[in-house]
């Protein structure tokens, strides 16, 4: 037997090894899932990240015939839960319900996040997209964004805004606003978007840049006044509220997204199966209504489209963090 023949029989070469591996990968995808799936939410139960994860569970469990368990792992601004998934086996059984903070903002400005949102995950599907809204108390003197900016420019640092901690999206939404409007606001940290919104209600702070999912009801009830949405276009959810660009502050979007990702290296066939199942579920009228009730929109998309979106969002917040001098080391 020649050496080349022996190599092909014993070592198989790269092509032979791959030909043996491919049936195993295909078989794993065909058999997937054969046990319960876990979706990790890097936040507390009941919040705006938790709800889309539970919608995903409702879509996947009946179609897959396996339990889809939502597990809350809050901590370090979401980095704790993200690290758990990034280091889990790439077999499709541990997924992350990621959002703008965990998949773009926190790793953009943290020196200790412990993961790379672009390299360490395999994007599956973007579930929802929303945006931040700048709100003040209805008794405040600011009825328009222009009056708010004029006062802020004349009184640097006198207006304060609540956010959910350094490096989180509400904090960076405030930073991009200051960069684009030429103002200086004072930032005050709270543990959650609910707490920072309550702080505006009680007049403990002047304003907050928070997710529409949290603020929509309070705005519609007249308990908070919305000055502008940080979105490219007006939303039918708040049709009378101008965009930042319409109100004089261009390039000031702060979009919130929620989606599923798996550890990098998860077989493409498994990623596609989850993505196809989720997209079919997101098209249902019942799920659409549930997402609209959150103040968000359902976003059908491919894994490739979601990957490009995450990369673009991460790049954006890296640039904003550098320009604003935001750098944290306690994530």
The CATH number assigned to the domain holding 195 equals: 3.40.190.10
Q: What is the pLDDT of residue 24?
A: 64
Q: How far is CA 152 from CA 184, 204, 206, 287, in A?
A: 7, 17, 11, 41
CB 81 within 8 A of CB 75: yes
Q: What is the pLDDT of residue 28?
A: 66
| The pLDDT of residue 4 is above 70 | no
In a domain, 68, yes or no: yes
* Domain enclosing residue 139, as ranges: 131-229
Q: What is the pLDDT of residue 18?
A: 45
> pLDDT, tens digit, for every residue of 31-45?
899 999 999 998 888
The packing angle between helices 169-181 and 303-324, to 10°, is: 60
In a domain, 241, yes or no: no
Q: Is the domain of 279 the same as that of 219? A: no
Whole-prediction pTM value? 0.85
Q: Please provide the size of the chain in residues.
A: 331
Residue closest to 178 by CA, chosen among 319, 328, 320: 320
Which DSSP string corresponds to 67-112?
Answer: -EEEEE---GGGHHHHHHHHTS-SSSSEEEEEEHIIIIIHHHHBS-
Q: What is the pLDDT of residue 295?
A: 75
Count of domains forming the chain = 2
In a domain, 4, yes or no: no
> pLDDT, tens digit, for every residue of 282-316?
999 989 888 887 778 887 899 999 999 999 999 99
In a domain, 235, yes or no: no
> pLDDT, tens digit, for every residue of 218-258?
999 999 999 999 999 998 889 999 999 999 999 999 999 99
Q: Is the domain of 78 the same as that of 41? A: yes
Residue closest to 273 by CA, chosen among 111, 75, 64, 20: 64
Q: Is the domain of 121 the same as that of 151? A: no
Main-chain phi, psi angles of 134, to 5 degrees? -85, 120
Q: Is the domain of 99 the same as that of 205? A: no
The CATH number assigned to the domain holding 115 equals: 3.40.190.150
Q: Is the domain of 142 the same as that of 103? A: no
> pLDDT, tens digit, for every residue of 44-74?
887 777 889 999 999 999 999 999 999 999 8
In a domain, 198, yes or no: yes
In a domain, 238, yes or no: no
Q: Is the domain of 263 the same as that of 125? A: yes
> pLDDT, tens digit, for every residue of 135-172?
999 999 999 999 999 999 999 999 999 998 888 899 99
């Amino acid at each position: 037997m020649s050496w080349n023949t022996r190599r092909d029989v014993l070592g198989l070469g790269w092509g032979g090894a791959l030909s043996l591996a491919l049936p195993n990968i295909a078989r794993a995808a065909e058999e997937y899932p054969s046990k319960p799936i876990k979706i990790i939410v890097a936040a507390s139960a009941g919040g705006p990240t938790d709800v889309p994860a539970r919608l995903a569970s409702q879509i996947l469990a009946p179609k897959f015939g396996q339990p889809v368990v939502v597990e809350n792992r809050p901590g370090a601004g979401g980095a704790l839960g993200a690290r758990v998934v990034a280091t889990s086996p790439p077999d499709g059984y541990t997924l992350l319900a990621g959002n703008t903070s965990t998949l773009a903002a926190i790793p953009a400005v943290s020196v200790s996040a412990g993961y790379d949102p672009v390299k360490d995950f395999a994007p599956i599907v973007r579930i929802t997209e929303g945006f931040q809204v700048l709100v003040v108390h209805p008794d405040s003197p600011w009825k328009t964004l222009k009056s708010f900016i004029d006062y802020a420019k004349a009184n640097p640092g006198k207006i304060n805004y609540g956010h959910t901690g350094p490096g989180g999206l509400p904090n960076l939404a405030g930073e991009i606003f200051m960069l684009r409007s030429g103002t200086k606001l004072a930032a005050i940290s709270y543990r959650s978007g609910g707490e920072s919104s309550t702080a505006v209600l009680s007049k403990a702070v002047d304003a907050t840049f928070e997710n529409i999912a949290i603020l929509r009801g309070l705005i519609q009830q007249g308990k908070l006044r919305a000055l502008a949405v940080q979105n490219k276009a007006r939303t039918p959810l708040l049709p009378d509220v101008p965009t930042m660009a319409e109100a004089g502050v261009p390039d000031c979007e702060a979009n919130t997204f929620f989606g599923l990702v798996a550890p990098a290296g998860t077989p493409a066939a498994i990623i596609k199966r989850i993505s196809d199942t989720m997209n079919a579920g997101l098209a249902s009228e019942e799920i659409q209504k549930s997402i609209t009730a959150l103040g968000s929109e359902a976003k059908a998309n491919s894994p490739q489209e979601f990957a490009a979106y995450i990369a673009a969002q991460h790049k954006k917040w890296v640039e904003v963090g550098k320009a604003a001098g935001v750098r944290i080391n306690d994530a």
